[in-house]
Each structure stands twice: as C-alpha cells, then as structure tokens.
Structure 1
Amino acid sequence: MRILQIIDSLDIGGAEKMAVNYANALSNQVAFSGLVTTRKEGSLKEQINSNVPYLFLNRKKTIDFSAIFKLKKYCKSNDIQYVQAHSSSFFTAFLLKLILFKIKIIWHDHNGLSEFLNARKSLALKIASYFFEGIIVVNYQLKNWAERELNCKKVIYLANFTSISQNGLNETELFGKTEKRILCLANLRFQKNHFLLIDVAKKMKLSHPDWTFHLVGKDFNDDYSSKVKTAIAENVLQNHVFIYGSKNDTQNIIEQSEIAILTSQSEGLPVALLEYGLNRKPVVSTEVGEIPLIIINNENGFIVPKFDAEQFYGALIAMIENDELRVKLGNALYQTIQQNNSEEAVLNKFISWVKTK
C-alpha cells in the first residue's frame, strides 16, 4: 500500500494530530506513508517521524493551480494509490482527483461539532463525496450523518489512537502548586465550553483554593477567547485559571498535572482524552460525542451531563479528596485505552478496510 495523508495545517488540533499519527504509524506497516500539508505548517511538524516523506504545498487560495499540480507531480513520482484527506482537506483531494483520476480518496471526518450537524455546510462536500472511495468517521453520529447526507455509502467508524510523545521537550512550567493542578487540553473554541470550567473554578476557589486550572490549546484571539479571559478577570480567577496557548511539550505538561478534564458541549473522540489515559491521569469529562464509549462512570473516570457545573464540581471534589481513587481511575483508564484505542488495533482494522477499496 502506498498512501498519503493530507491536512490543511499542522497547528495543534485533533484532526492535525491524527494526520500525523496515521502517517507515523503507517510508515512501519506499508510500502509508502507520506504526509502533505496544504496551507500552513505548524508545531506538529516536529512530531513527524524522520522516515515519513513530507511535502508542504503552501496553497495561497481555495483553488491554487500551482499547488494542485505540485501535488499531482508528487503523487505520480511516488506512485501514490490512496490519499487520506483529513477534515477540510477533502477539497484539495477532490481537485487532485480531477487531474489524476487513478488516485483513490479516503475522507477522514474529525468533526468535533457532532452535536450541531444540522447546521453543517455540506454542498461542496456532497459533490466531492461522489469521488470518495470510503469515509472514516470518529463517532457514530458522524457515521449516521455521512450515510444519510453524502454520496459515498462505504462508511466506517474507527476510533482515534495516539501514542506518548517521545520528543523530550520540557519547555513549559505550569503555575500553581505541585500535585494540585487540573489540566484541560483543548483549543479555545466555543464547543470546548471553557465557561463550564470557569463556573467550576469559582466553586473550587472557595472550597479548595490551592487547586488550580491550566488551559492548554490554541488561542485564536477571537471573540470567544476574549469572553473567556474577561470571565476569568471578572471573577478574580487570575491566580486560579491559567491560559498557556499552544504548546509543543504536551507530555511534559500532562506529567505536571494531577487531574485532567474535558468540559466540551460537543466532541467527536478527543485525542486529549486518549493522551490523558495513556498517562494514567484520572479524568472528569462531559457526556458528549464518543466519550461515553471510553469512560464508564466510577470505573475509569467520571462523566457528567454537559453544562452541569454542580455535578462536574462534585466529581472533581471526589477525586481531590481521595488519592487512592485518583490512582485507581487513572490506571483503569489506561487499561481501557490500551485495549480499545491502541495503535495496533486501529491500524489493523484500517488496513483491512482500505484493501477492500
């Protein structure tokens, strides 16, 4: 198999991380595994394995003929059979298909807005889907939507997977007291609902003021970001909630944290949850997307209804006040991730499925 991953940027995010994960993992499994970034490079470039061929197209506009012909030349010279296009990069793959028809497109849908699919703009996607050989989705809501709305009926659910980063970076030192830090790995987007985190932090400030919250993820410096920062200031939480932006040393950051959380109002299957589990961190999360397929309440973490600050706070307090519970839940989540979201298990399913195309 000769396969190429395509992603529009290498900024830190779930779809971007999975494109890198697939390129790296497949490099040890197939004849050729490469990665192409169409529009923008970013921090994740440093995580591409040295044995993964890499190309940056530097696409300047939606239809950039020089970029498309550069991609065509690359695919022909490397005898590419399959293009696995992640998220919005399906359009680049579609344009490539028009001038290199032998290429087989697999679209990988990572949409984190699975709770809001009715509002999804899909005309271009519907047209492009006539040319897809298959579609991979990261949750069953997306699977149902794709089977109903798109023109490719070969749809498979494959769980996300990840591995512990071995880049050895130790650039970030978290604020707050050691062993009293609560981590939220999530870009500053509205679906991640950092306002729930702030509501919980207000309660925590009164009951357990030594515990602090640490927000790591891309800051788009937009209206949502501004509102989050205003809420932190208005509630005098500057010494309790810290924002760091994107960071390359995720492993180092997780190791400095005691508890990990996700406060989202919508999700697919967040890679952050897998990273928490591989690091044996106890997790409190909202009940969205495919998270309930991973976390079983009171067995390997706590899962609460979205928007419910009272239950979220209660779950955190239960962990804070019981060291043994934290260890137990962290170890149990690690076992769950190893069994259901391991690289080996997902890749075996992926390769078997692709070979039928």
Structure 2
Amino acid sequence: MLKENTMPIQIDLLHLITGLGVGGAERVVLDLSRNSNKNRYKTSVISMSKQQDMLEMFRENHVEVHVLNMNSSIMGLFKLVSAVNHHVKEKNIQLIHAHMTDAMVVGVMVKMLNPKLKLVFTSHNVTFGSKLRTVAVKLLKPFRDRDILFSKDQRSGIYKKNYEMIPNGIDIRRYQLNLQKDEIFTFITVGRLEKQKNHLKLLESAKELRDKGLEFQVLIVGEGKDPVQKKSIEEFIATHKLENYVYLLGVRFDIPELISKADCFVLSSAWEGLPIVLLEAGASKIPIISTPVGSIPSLIDERSGYLADENFTEAMEEVMLNYSSAQERASTLYTKVKENYSIESIVKKHERIYEELV
C-alpha cells in the first residue's frame, strides 16, 4: 500500500521585513519572492514600516506586498503584531521568514499566537545593531525553527544548532549589460551613507589621487538615516574642493546600469558580512577594490580583485594605471560569482529548508 503524501499542495509563505528601503536585505527578499517556485509557494511580503523605496520594484514583479506603520511604542508593537497575526490567519500562512532582528521579534510574538507556525530568521548583517537586539536574538533562539547565515563571520555562541549557511545570491542576467563606459575613469560605490560604509576613507583617497593630477570621478550611490554622516561627507567634499571629482547620486534604481558604465567598484567599509553589491559588481565584470573585512576575503583575493586597507589609494591608482591587469582579475571574479552565487541555486537552498520545516 502506497504511503499517502501528506505534504500540502501549496505552501503559504510570508516574508516579514523591517522596511523596503534600498539595501541588501530588501533585494534578497525581492529575489526570493520573484524567483520562487510559483506552483509550490504562495508568497506574500509584509513591510513593518512605511519605508518603501523599493515598493514599486516588488509590485512590478507581481509580488504581493503589505506596508504597515511600525513605531517604537509598546502600543505600536502590539498593533503591529495584531496586523501580522491577522494576515497569517487570513492567508493560512504556514511559515514566516523574518528578515532582520526587529522582524524576527515580531515573528516570534506571532508564532506564540500560532504554535504550529514555522519561523525562519536571517539577520543580513554580522552585527545586530545594538546590545538589546543582540540579547533578543540570543534569548529568542528557542522560538525559531531555523536560522540562515550568509557568512561564517556570523557564527557565534548564538548559532550552535538549527542553522544553515546560505550565501547571498543575485540574478546574474540583470548585470550582463556591457554598456559603453564614460570617457573619464569612473569609480563607483553603492551603500547607505552610514558609519559602517566609511565613505570618508574613500574621499581621502579621492583627494590624494586628485593631488597627484589624475583625472577621474567617484559616484557615490545611496542615502542614509544619519544626517550627521551625510553632512560630514558633504563638508569633506566642499572643504577639499572635490565637487568636480565626487558626485552624490542619492537613491537610484538603475544600479545595474550605473555599475556597468563604471570602470571600477570600490568599497571602503569598516565592517561587513558579504555585501550583495560586491556580487553585483562581480557579475558586471568590472574590477573591485575593497577593504578586507567580514567574509569579503572569501570572495576576493589577489587573483580576483584588490583587497586594500592602508593602501586603498595605491590600489585605486594601480587599477587606473594598469587596467588590463585589473580586467583579468575581474574576469576571474565573474566566473566565481556565476558558479557559486546565482540566485537560482540560492532560492533552491532556501526552499529546501522551507520544505523540511513544513
């Protein structure tokens, strides 16, 4: 007698995320949602805050999105939990994938109201942002069915069991544009204007290259919540008269096009995990210069790019003056990204976890 297949025909999955700003976590949720097996998964997304820079991108890809209005009050938290719980019951959600710590906390509270609900958590950074969030991640571990880490640098005493290592991934086809380059040598960096990204390090290198008489431009893409950080960047540019060398582009949604038209991607971060934007630059076949932080050395080495800290300026100059060698390294990195970080393989790894739990 054949054993009856008790697996549900379709799994109702909710991606719960703090907001839909322009960042790596948001792009992961978008890629997981639009590349999921539509015959197997009915996917919806809840953004807990009104931050919705990427909302249209989700809708253009026919992803069901609900935007809530999170605030930091206790009453606001309970209203948020109530709204998510209502969605869970209305849509018969079987599994919540919480992205970032605040979403995980809400996910745990909703799970307490629905004991059969499964909960998966991805933090998307090597740190949790504050001591309180770190404590929350540790204390609420028993309520989570699986944690997903994208980097070995995330491993700590918190993650001793029930975790999986899945690296970030990208849709490589979106970055194979081969657009015509600008006449002037162009460096580009993409990231929020925050302390973590250490933009002043990049600006100091730009100043030194300008003082050497080199012709180039630096495009800085991104915004941030910290007005002090943005002001310090603007003041550095003005004080050192870099207005004709450094351009702040703000939030942009044509990242693949901007990267493809640039000559070199630069990342001057003080700390990172494995940022998606490096994979995007690698898929665009342009040379990369990065600080050797987090898991970046697992992606980039002397054969596939340039790791630089104290010698950041020298690395930028090296790429400008020996571009053919830099392109050879970029070609090596492209092959590595294509073979190990395609979104298709990453989605399959996530869906395997979902299947195991449900």
Q: Matches of 2:294 and 2:172 in 1, distance apart?
A: 23
| Residue aligning to 2:31 | 21
| Residue aligning to 2:224 | 219
TM-fit CA distance, 1:133: 0.3
- Three-state SS of the structure 1 residue aligned to 2:140 is helix
The answer to which of 323-332 and 82-91 deviates more is 323-332
Q: Does residue 3 of the first structure (1) align with residue 13 of the second (2)? A: yes
* 1:104 maps to amino acid: K
| Residue aligning to 2:57 | 47
Q: Matches of 1:342 and 1:316 in 2, distance apart?
A: 28
The answer to which of 37-46 and 105-114 deviates more is 105-114
Partner of residue 168 from structure 2, selected from 146, 160, 164: 160
1:196-229 Cα offsets, whole Å, 9 max, x none, are 1012111110234321111101233522222222
Partner of residue 262 from structure 1, selected from 264, 267, 282: 267
The answer to which of 266-275 and 340-349 deviates more is 340-349
* 1:93 maps to amino acid: G
Provide the identity percentage: 22
Structure 1 unmatched runs, 5+: 168-175
Residue pair 2:126, 2:153 contacting (<8 A) in 1 also: no
* 1:138 maps to amino acid: F
1:56-83 Cα offsets, whole Å, 9 max, x none, are 2233445443433332232223222111
The answer to which of 321-330 and 260-269 deviates more is 321-330
* 1:46 maps to amino acid: E
| Residue aligning to 2:6 | none
**Any residues of structure 2 matched to 1:1-357 within 5 Å, and which?**
1-28=11-38, 30-48=40-58, 50-62=61-73, 63-87=76-100, 88-113=102-127, 121-147=133-159, 153-163=161-171, 178-297=183-302, 299-305=303-309, 308=310, 311-357=311-357
Distance 1:92 1:178, change over 3 A: farther
Distance 1:252 1:7, change over 3 A: same
- Three-state SS of the structure 1 residue aligned to 2:241 is coil
TM-fit CA distance, 1:9: 0.7
TM-fit CA distance, 1:164: 5.2
* 1:235 maps to amino acid: H
TM-score normalised according to structure 2 size: 0.87
Q: Matches of 1:27 and 1:57 in 2, distance apart?
A: 26
1:225-252 Cα offsets, whole Å, 9 max, x none, are 2222222222221211111211111122
1:135-184 Cα offsets, whole Å, 9 max, x none, are 11221121224326xxxx211221011225869xxxxxxxx963411001
* 1:86 maps to amino acid: H
Distance 1:104 1:136, change over 3 A: same
Q: Matches of 1:32 and 1:222 in 2, distance apart?
A: 39
Give me the CA root mean square deviation: 2.4
* 1:189 maps to amino acid: E
| Residue aligning to 2:5 | none
Residue pair 1:27, 1:33 contacting (<8 A) in 2 also: no
Distance 1:221 1:72, change over 3 A: closer
Q: Matches of 2:39 and 2:339 in 1, distance apart?
A: 20
Distance 1:208 1:134, change over 3 A: farther
Distance 1:64 1:219, change over 3 A: closer
Q: Matches of 1:29 and 1:280 in 2, distance apart?
A: 34
TM-fit CA distance, 1:99: 1.7
Q: Matches of 1:134 and 1:29 in 2, distance apart?
A: 24
Residue pair 1:2, 1:32 contacting (<8 A) in 2 also: yes
TM-fit CA distance, 1:256: 2.4
The answer to which of 204-213 and 333-342 deviates more is 204-213
- Three-state SS of the structure 1 residue aligned to 2:273 is coil
- Three-state SS of the structure 2 residue aligned to 1:228 is helix
Q: Matches of 1:231 and 1:29 in 2, distance apart?
A: 53
Structure 2 unmatched runs, 5+: 1-10, 176-180
Q: Matches of 1:29 and 1:312 in 2, distance apart?
A: 48
Distance 1:29 1:222, change over 3 A: farther
The answer to which of 136-145 and 287-296 deviates more is 136-145
- Three-state SS of the structure 2 residue aligned to 1:183 is strand
* 1:313 maps to amino acid: T
Residue pair 1:143, 1:157 contacting (<8 A) in 2 also: no
Q: Matches of 1:288 and 1:221 in 2, distance apart?
A: 22
* 2:270 maps to amino acid: Q
Distance 1:158 1:203, change over 3 A: same
- Three-state SS of the structure 2 residue aligned to 1:43 is coil
